Amino acid sequence: MTIDGQVVLQCQALSKSYEQGTDTISVLSNISLDVCSGEKIAIIGASGSGKTTLLNLLGGLDDPTSGSVAVMDADMSPMGESSRARWRNQHLGFVYQFHHLLGEFTALENVAMPLLIGKVAVAEAKARAQAILSQVGLEHRCHHKPSELSGGERQRVAIARALVAKPACVLMDEPTGNLDPETAKTILDLLLQLNTDLGISFVVVTHEHHVAVQMDKVLSLEQETLIDVTEDLVARSSVNSQSETTAVPVQGS
Ligand SMILES: Nc1ncnc2c1ncn2[C@@H]1O[C@H](COP(=O)(O)OP(=O)(O)OP(=O)(O)O)[C@@H](O)[C@H]1O
Ligand SMILES: [Mg+2]
């Protein structure tokens, strides 16, 4: 996918700390990041380093202690809850580690949900949901509820739901973390294909080396800040492939 210079998601001097009794726990400090249109970014880092916290801030699901987040040039901080939800619904998609599908709705209804919330007419929402479910290979499972789907199928429904409104950027928290290697590979290939076809940017939290190296940029969350480790990881990959060893885990995981 060609990355053009348009910045779809940007954070500036983002910091987050939690108050715990008399203690202040600082998790993120002074983080700035631009995500360009079509760009794929991996975020790696040890458990507890703040990856989910960062994704939640980037998605406007949580408020920073200081700093700002802008999606499609609009600053999320001053927005009220409902306009922020509307803006998020229009421009961002989310894939959580544990799919978060609504159990009482079918795959088709789950995928159509962001469009219905965005006030798209029911018939059109269902047609678009059906089309994207076909793209993720689930046209034959549209009327199944999440409990009637396999883990990989549920994750594909979650990906379809994140992509259906053709957002500018999708934020993913270990999208393949709970899947067997073969299903994980199918899903990763699918995401890369969708990035090429639709030009959607990705920010992907992952513990998996083979996922991280497929992204344009790899950022490691260490000591509350992001460090660009793309070149290190690519160099390690090429050493590994030359010596034909199996993939090593990413730094910090
Ligand atoms: N609501 C909260 N109150 C206090 N501390 C919190 C809160 N939420 C998260 N933390 C702390 O912030 C740190 C970062 O948590 P976060 O969930 O972002 O880590 P992570 O990098 O996603 O870890 P993992 O790889 O295990 O998912 C952790 O030390 C956690 O205990
Ligand atoms: Mg996490």
Q: Which residue lies with its CA nearest to atom 5 of ligand 1?
A: 18
1 belongs to a structural domain: no
Whether 59 contacts 92, CB under 8 Å: yes
Between the CA of 221 and the centroid of ligand 2 the distance, in Å, is 12
Q: Is 21 in the pocket of ligand 1 (CB under 6 A)?
A: no
Q: Which residue lies with its CA nearest to atom 31 of ligand 1?
A: 48
Whether 113 contacts 105, CB under 8 Å: yes
253 belongs to a structural domain: no
Name the residue type at position 84: R
pLDDT digits (tens, 9 = 90+) for 37-83: 999 999 999 999 999 999 999 999 999 999 999 999 999 988 888 89
pLDDT digits (tens, 9 = 90+) for 174-231: 888 777 788 788 888 888 988 888 889 999 999 888 899 999 999 999 999 999 999 8
- The C-alpha angle with vertex 215 and arms to 97 and 213, in degrees rounded to 5, equals 95
User: Total structural domains in the chain?
Assistant: 1
- Neighbouring C-alpha atoms within 13 Å toward the C-beta of 27: 21
In this predicted structure, the answer to whether residue 121 has a pLDDT above a threshold of 90 is yes
230 belongs to a structural domain: yes
Q: Which residue lies with its CA nearest to atom 6 of ligand 1?
A: 18
The CATH number that applies at residue 44 is 3.40.50.300
Strand partners, 42: 204, 218
Residue 248 pLDDT level (bands cut at 50, 70, 90): very low
Pocket test for ligand 1, best of 19, 25, 220 (most atoms within 8 A of CB): 25
Q: Which atom of ligand 1 is nearest to the CA of 45?
A: 21
In the prediction, which pLDDT does 253 show? 44
70 belongs to a structural domain: yes
69 lies in which domain range? Answer: 7-242
* pTM for the full predicted model: 0.88
